[in-house]
Each structure stands twice: as C-alpha cells, then as structure tokens.
Amino acid sequence: MSDPIARAFPARPLRVTAPISVWRAWIGGIVGFLLFAGVMVMMSIEVLPVLSSDYRIRETAVSLPKTRVEGGTCRVRFFLLNDCEATLVIPQDRGPALRRKVGYVFFEPGAGVRNVMPMGDPAHPELTSTDLGLERFVNRVVTYAVLMAAMLALCLAMLLVPAALRRQKRILDQMSNQVFNPVPARLVRARQEWIVSPIAGGTASKWNLGTKGEPFVVDHRAGIVLAVTGAAGGALFPLDEKLTWIDVTDDERRVIWAARAEIQRSAQGSAG
C-alpha cells in the first residue's frame, strides 16, 4: 500500500488482540452439546420403548375392540413432524384394567386429529398399541434415525465452533510480534464471520470476529477496508474502526486515522 496509511503504519512488531475468546466458545459449545445430548436422551427414552414393543407384536397384532383409547392427541410440527400420544385402557379378566401410554413420532403431512384403533397380541396385553403406530412403524424408525442424526450433528457443531476458533487463535498468535504490512482489502460479513480478500485477487481469509466490531473502512464508495498481513505474507486480518485489534499506541492510532482522512480528502478532490 503505497499511500499515507502505509507510511503512517508503525514499522515495529505488533501483537494482534482480536476479540476471539476461545474459553467462552468452549463453555458455550459444551453447554450446547449437553443440551442437544439431553434432547437425544429424552427422545430416546420416550420413543424407543414403544418402538421396541411394537416391533415384537407387528406380526401377531389383532384388533382389540374392548380396549379403549383415552386422551389421544396428535400435534403436527413444521408441517410434517407428527407427534401423537394416547393412553390405552386394556381390560383384564381378573384385576383392574391395564393402562398404557403410547407415543408415536413420524413424518407425514396430516391433520392433528386422527381416529385410531387399539391393536395388540392377546397373549401380551402389556404391549398393546394402535393401528396408527403399527402401520407407520417403518416411518417411525426412519424418523427416529433422522432426528437422532440431526441432534448428533448439532452436538458435533457445538464442539466444532470452539475448535475452529482455537485454530484462528493459533494463527493470530503466529502472526503476532512481527512487523505488519497494511493491505487494502474487500470484506464480506456473514453474521459473525468476516471474510477478507485482497482487492487485487487472491486467497480470502475467514475470521469469526462477532457482530459488535466495525471494519476500518478506507474508501466507502469502493468498499475498501484496511487489513494487515505478516512480513512474509500469509493470512489477511481485517482491522476494526477503533484500531483496537492490534496493540498500536494512541499516538500511532491518531496518525493512521489522519492518513485515512488524507486519502479521503484526496479522493473527494479528484471527484470534484
């Protein structure tokens, strides 16, 4: 950058002090991992016992007209995910009636109200289910597998984010304590991710820098921001507007701001 900023930039080793808090990311990642893992456990506790018992009676189940259905409900979530539950009251020749709660989760477009018929193996009344559950058994197995895979992916994602931040922190540590070269760059922000690339073309660098900071913009019309790279090249790191992400002094900061103002005045004069 052969311009006032290049001349104003400190010719001494600088340290990067970007707001990348790895330990906070690990805490958030572990909390998120435990949350989604807990959902997996609770879902398995609710779904697997009924799936297992329905598998056992699939070939021997018959209609049980004396069995009653109490409190049956079906909720449709996200247009496709059906979550149904009911309490079955199963009369016994001796003793009080058995009560069994069943729940089914499956993918299917449908209404929230369904008519169900109790079905089961007379030799195993404790495994009684309904035609809804048995007819959609394969669907329920596939749904459970898909939901578990999605929850597992979310669990892993909770740990991948802090791992990625740790890699970024390691790169910044390697960049630190050397003389930086200021580089004009273009920046694309996608939520917390800052993607910076040289204006002349080349490899882009991605950084997770949050949403609070603002980039050091040199030319608003051209969309040029200020980034730095090591003396030997390598990754580009964008600087923030307040120049707090590198350890420049207050005097050095003012000199760089003044150099940017000079560039902008020159651009305005050329445009006039």
Give CA separation, 201 vs 1, 180, 196, 240, in Å. Answer: 15, 19, 11, 21
Q: Judge whether residue 2 has pLDDT over 50.
A: no
Given a contact cutoff of 8 angstroms between Cβ atoms, the answer to whether 238 and 215 are in contact is: yes
The domain ranges of the chain are: 4-16+176-271, 29-154
Residues 125-161: pLDDT tens digits?
999 999 999 999 999 999 999 999 999 999 999 988 8
Pick from 221, 215, 260, 222: which is nearest to 242 by CA?
215
pTM of the model: 0.67
What does pLDDT average to over the chain?
88
Per-residue pLDDT, 112 = 59
Mean pLDDT for the stretch of residues 176-182: 88
Q: What are phi and psi of 97, to 5 degrees?
A: -65, 145
Cα separation, 18 vs 13, whole angstroms? 16
